[in-house]
Amino acid sequence: MIYHLLYPLHTKIFAFNLFRYITVRATFSGITALVLSFLIGPRIIRWLKRRKILATIREEGIPSQEKNHGVIPTMGGVLILLVVILSTLLWANLKKSCVWLILFLFISLGVVGFWDDMRKVRKKNGICGWYKILFQCMVGVIVGLYLFCKSPIPSFKTYTSFLFFKNIFISLGCFYIPFVVLVIVGTSNATNIADGLDGLAIGLIGEVALGFAILSYVAGNIKIAEYLNILYIPNSGELTIFLSAVVGSALGFLWYNMHPAQIIMGDTGALALGGAIGGVACFIKQEILLLITGGVFVLEALSVILQVLYFKTTKGKRIFLMAPIHHHFEKLGIPQEKIVVRFWIVGILCLLLAWSTLKIR
């Protein structure tokens, strides 16, 4: 909104010409999200407490959690949704359809998560797992159909970029829409799985969002995209505004979610954030690179899958003491603060590795 109000005045006030630059608006978007988190956060926490929207955080056999956790407000994803949406609307060019596509995905998955969280609070049991995946798939299909029918590069609408090789793309053909659904549902649930320790998931999301903010900007800049031999995606630079808001909101939410947490984001935030990142990856044709950038989320999801498969095939044996893998390390007696910071460090290494692949071609 600010962009549409102030930029047209640049012919009279030259300073407003700054708002034409994505980098300037992305910076202000991130700052706005951070400031809004500080302003709205305490009010959201108090509101959740008054409404008794609380969750008991306790893992059996993990003394550190039993000692440091208790009944705390959940559904903190409401705070994230509010500040990201407001910041994006304030600073993005709302004439670009990609902005509305990602906001639709972000809000839709947030609604699914909100529904699940409310059932957990009110009825002590979330919605059926298969129902939740079904709704996620429905949202993913809508996004996939849009990308197929309204692709910014029609000749590449069913393609995805291939790592390490320039000018080589994989055609998915009729499997493109299921592929988009898989990416969105996978990233959404992997983020939810990682949301098990104070500050873990939101810190990692901030890192991944920063990585894709830069990737979106690069993909939307024809000169830089040509220099790095990556596919130029018209208008993808506007997604940098949204992703910068995610980074700002992640920092702001971390202020309250760091150990010991005052609030947890629940499915409301985790499903929305993870799915939105997956949607951005699909839009800029960097779905495979998401496996590297979000390497920690991949590790968390794989640990659960392997644990379940091994448990069933060996009739009760386990690979990890507890899954997801962050609980395995907690069972070993490592303080959760140390686990979280170490996972953040691994996340940064994954981010740097992902960036390096842009030039290794």
Q: Dump pLDDT digits (tens) for 163-205.
A: 776 677 888 999 999 999 999 999 999 999 999 899 999 999 9
Paired tokens of 278 = 């997956």
pLDDT at 71: 79
pLDDT recorded at residue 63: 43
HSE (side-chain half, CA atoms, 13 Å) at 13: 9
Residue 102's pLDDT is 97
| DSSP secondary structure letter of residue 261 | P
Say what the pLDDT of residue 4 is. Answer: 79
Q: What angle do CA 112, 118, 123 make, to 5 degrees?
A: 125
Distance separating alpha carbons of residues 356 and 59, to the nearest angstrom: 39
Give residue-wise pLDDT tens across range 261-273: 999 999 999 999 9
d(C-alpha 41, C-alpha 90), whole Å: 19
Phi, psi of 323 (to 5 degrees): -115, 150
Tell me the CA distances in angstroms from 4 to 91, 177, 196, 300, 313, one per residue in order. Answer: 9, 33, 40, 41, 59
As to burial, measured by CB atoms within 10 angstroms (0-12 exposed, 13-18 middle, 19+ buried), residue 106 is buried
Series of mean pLDDT values for 10-residue runs along the chain (361 residues) = 75 79 95 97 94 70 44 92 97 94 97 93 85 95 95 89 77 94 97 94 97 95 89 94 98 94 94 97 94 95 95 91 94 94 97 85 64
Structure tokens that stand for 355 in this block = 């960036």
Smallest Cα–Cα separation from 107: which of 138, 144, 82?
82
Task: Quote the pLDDT of residue 70.
Answer: 56
Cis, peptide link before residue 260, omega less than 30° from 0: yes
Q: What is the pLDDT of residue 358?
A: 79
Q: Cα separation of 49 and 316, whole Å? A: 40
- pLDDT, residue 67, reads 42
The C-alpha torsion from 266 through 267 and 268 to 272, rounded to 10°, is 130
Q: Are strands 169-171 and 159-161 parallel, antiparallel or unpaired?
A: antiparallel
